[in-house]
Amino acid sequence: MKKTYKIDVDCANCANKMEEAAKNTAGVKNAVVNFMTLKMSVEFEEGQNVKAVMEEVRRNCKKVEDDCEVFL
């Protein structure tokens, strides 16, 4: 399953870091962060609790880039 979330982040490099962090979150198959449109599209692995995974993605993003937000 694939879902798109709105994000807020200030720099392109930070967006790349968020992408990397989201990709490495358990339950996420693939993630693409689009800095220009400020969107993150996340592809989840089968049978995952989307909400819980996204909470984790958000936490991981905050870890690599303090000044970011993922709107769930």
> Where on the chain is the footprint of other proteins (CB under 8 A)?
10-14, 16-17, 32, 34-39, 41, 63-64, 66-67
CA gap 61, 38 in Å, rounded:
14
> Smallest distance, Å, CB 52 to other proteins?
22
SS3 state at 14: helix
CA gap 50, 12 in Å, rounded:
26
Task: State which residue, 38 or 48, has the beta carbon closest to other proteins.
Answer: 38
DSSP H or E segment with residue 59: helix 50-64
> Smallest distance, Å, CB 17 to other proteins?
7
Task: State which residue, 36 or 47, has the beta carbon closest to other proteins.
Answer: 36
